[in-house]
Structure 1
Amino acid sequence: MLDWLKKWYANKFSDPQVVTLFLLLLFGFMAIYWLSGILAPVMVAIVFAYLLEWPVIHLSRLGLSRSASTVMVVAGFVGLATLTLMWIIPIVWYQGRNLLRDLPQMIDQGKNYLLALPESFPGVVSVEQITILMHSVDERLMAFGRDMLQMSLASIVDLVALLIYLVLVPLMVFFMLKDKAQLTSSFVQILPAERRLISQVWHEMNAQIMNYIRGKILEILIVGALSYAVFAIFGLNYPLLLGVLVGLSVLIPYIGAAVVTLPVALVAFFQWGPTADFGYLMLAYGVIQALDGNLLVPLLFSEAVDLNPVFIIIAVLFFGGLFGFWGIFFAIPLASLVKATVKAWSARTHPQSGAVD
């Protein structure tokens, strides 16, 4: 057994490029893990830089300079984002406030439904079980209220950080796009001269990350807008708030769709009860989720869907546990990075023999 391990180690780690790639990935993961709070605005800037790289490239191909293209794209994006947020945030805030105002009435209505269960299902559901369940729900609601109060107090500090991000992030995005060649060459100079394996993984991942970020933003916008339109057509309460939640839920593959279904179903149930309107709305919502999973995701993430759903869920849980929100957002690219690294590592060529492992 020990001899086999020695042979495996000598075979897989005899190439210095493998060690370099391993150390680079290790230091990168450690930096993000330990400095995630400090690097948060940098990560946001990188996401937007990847998102805006596509229009900058196309404007440059039309004859504009890189600087002029960057100014036009960043200015247009900031203006459009500002106008959109000025329209969405007040409405979402208003609907969220109404939801909190109506929440006690919805809770009382839910308790009445629960108290009627022992009469509807005698011998299956008892009054004691309903009482214990209601007591547990009350305790969880009180804990949720305390957490929301603590979050509101902490949001004052977060508001100051947000104002700083609103200045820093657009500046970093602008210079990342404008000086992309210089920044890339500066980073490359740090790497060793023999970096074929690193270059192979990087070229594969660079295109995947760009496509992933662009596709994920498009998926959020399409799913959120379609959900809002369906909720508004049916006359569901808080349509924009729920539409935003459904759109943001696609950030977490598979898990997000399951979690956001609960508030949509609860709001619809408390508004209409067990009626045909409730059934039609949930059917339409199910069609949206089915189209997202079976049409939109394969169309936008043709390479990412090569990963088995089990691997994607494991990646969400693992990287989300390590890096929080950014681990969840980049779970699929990180899983693809692991896959690309293993592929390049296993198929590398020995410089001496020229044979492929």
Structure 2
Amino acid sequence: MNDTLQFPFYAKLSSILLILISFSFIFFIGKDIMTPVLMAFLFAVLLLPVFTFLNGRLKFPRHIAAAICVLLFALFIAGILAFISYQVTDMANDFGTIKKNANAFLIEIHQFVKEKFQVSIGEQKKYIDNVTKDSVKNGSSTLGSALVSISDLLFNCTIIPIYTFLFLIYKDHFILFLAKLISKENHQTLKDILCQIKVSINNYIVGLIFEMIVVSVLTGIGLWIVGIKYFILLGLITGILNLIPYIGILIAGIITALASLTGTSETSILLSILLVNVVVQLIDNNLLVPLIINSKVEINAFVSIIGIIVGGAAAGISGMFLAIPLLAILKIIFDRIESLEPWGYLMGNHMPKKFTWRLKKLKVEN
């Protein structure tokens, strides 16, 4: 006897939407807790092959293998930050030159506005002074927000490695928990889902790292050609910030433009920097992202953009970074559950060759 209940379509649709909205709301109100946990989960999946090698092949105890993995990852991040800090310190020595060239560049802008829009330099400075005064009035709240952000960053830098370590040593414990939630006949499906999630996230993060390296190299070469002094540092910063969808490249462009003032205040240099960023972004968006990123997660651009916007609204930059891997996990789950398979297809990037509706003509007999 089949005891499975069959619900109408509108009931299934309402249930799915209610579950998604509930999860989104829980993530929104608990983003300060959930964000580091999800980041640690991604890092743990990335480090899982190293952990398996140390624990399985070399017979290291679980705790020691997990600690080595986290330590190696932390040293890698620390090495990148140390290099950036060293280069930034070197750049600070040119602060006087940057200030001088910035003043010269501002004078050129004032003169351009005066000639093209008939606005005197005195009126322009008056407007800037008014804007500056408004910014100073809000300075205390801005400073407080900055201090809170720094404290949150320091807390996350401490707690994420701990979470990553715990995910690695309790990996089998979590898998057994999931196995206990579902019936034995569905264990193979669960195994397929977990294996595919591991492969998808690994490929995605490795693809991001490769994309970061390529963007850094291309940007560095372009800046070197146009004569920017700190082209290695600026290329690396551009590659790292490019991991933040949409807004990262804008921030990198502003930083590069400011750094270019160490050498000259000519407008042509800024236009050259803009051209380098545009060319690199065209290569990234039309070649690297389709081949490296989209091919790994198989999420179409429409769903990706919506997910990034929702992630940014819910948890800021961290939410934007987590949006794509979370969508990939959802798609893997949807594809392997029959009732949710249409939603997995909707999220995918499969393009049918042609689809036409064939409607039969109805003849009404009198």
Aligned partner of 2:73 among 64, 67, 77: 77
Q: CA deviation at 1:329?
A: 0.4
In the alignment, is residue 209 of structure 1 matched against residue 205 of structure 2? no
Deviates more, 1:147-156 or 1:219-228: 147-156
1:3 corresponds to:
none
2:181 and 2:97 map into 1 onto residues whose CA distance is: 57
Question: What are the residue-to-residue correspondences of 1:178-193 with 2, within 5 Å?
Answer: 178-190=169-181
Q: What CA deviation, in whole Å up to 9, does each residue of 1:151-202 have, x standing for no partner?
A: 5555555555555444433232222112211133235535677868994766
CA contact (8 A) 1:96 1:241 kept: no
1:139 and 1:248 map into 2 onto residues whose CA distance is: 35
Q: CA deviation at 1:324?
A: 1.8
Q: What is the identity, as a one-letter code, of the residue corresponding to 2:49?
A: W
Q: CA deviation at 1:88?
A: 2.0
Q: CA deviation at 1:28?
A: 3.6
1:135 and 1:36 map into 2 onto residues whose CA distance is: 42
Q: CA deviation at 1:111?
A: 4.0
2:34 corresponds to:
39
Q: What is the identity, as a one-letter code, of the residue corresponding to 1:8?
A: F
Change (3 A) 1:134 1:53: farther
CA contact (8 A) 1:91 1:240 kept: no
Q: What CA deviation, in whole Å up to 9, does each residue of 1:71-124 have, x standing for no partner?
A: 4332322233333323322433564796698458525523433423554xxxxx
1:97 and 1:295 map into 2 onto residues whose CA distance is: 38
Structure 1 gaps of 5+ residues are 1-5, 120-124, 349-357
Number of aligned residue pairs: give it.
Answer: 331
1:153 and 1:37 map into 2 onto residues whose CA distance is: 18
Structure 2 gaps of 5+ residues are 1-6, 343-366
2:51 corresponds to:
56
2:160 corresponds to:
169
Aligned partner of 2:285 among 265, 289, 293: 293
Q: CA deviation at 1:321?
A: 0.9
Change (3 A) 1:314 1:243: same
2:304 corresponds to:
312
Q: What is the identity, as a one-letter code, of the residue corresponding to 2:42?
A: V
CA contact (8 A) 1:66 1:178 kept: no
2:264 corresponds to:
271
Q: What CA deviation, in whole Å up to 9, does each residue of 1:292-316 have, x standing for no partner?
A: 2233323322435744434332322
1:101 and 1:147 map into 2 onto residues whose CA distance is: 30
In the alignment, is residue 328 of structure 1 matched against residue 324 of structure 2? no
Q: SS of the counterpart of 1:251?
A: coil
CA contact (8 A) 1:242 1:264 kept: yes
TM-score by length of 1: 0.70
2:124 and 2:227 map into 1 onto residues whose CA distance is: 31
1:79 and 1:94 map into 2 onto residues whose CA distance is: 22
TM-score by length of 2: 0.68
- Across the aligned residues of Structure 1 and Structure 2, the Cα RMSD in angstroms comes to 4.3
Q: What CA deviation, in whole Å up to 9, does each residue of 1:188-245 have, x standing for no partner?
A: 5356778689947665544323322332234334423553454356442554664354
CA contact (8 A) 2:304 2:324 kept: yes
CA contact (8 A) 1:254 1:313 kept: no
1:355 corresponds to:
none
1:91 corresponds to:
87
2:27 and 2:72 map into 1 onto residues whose CA distance is: 31
1:7 and 1:143 map into 2 onto residues whose CA distance is: 58
2:59 and 2:292 map into 1 onto residues whose CA distance is: 29
Change (3 A) 1:340 1:134: farther
Q: What is the identity, as a one-letter code, of the residue corresponding to 2:117?
A: S
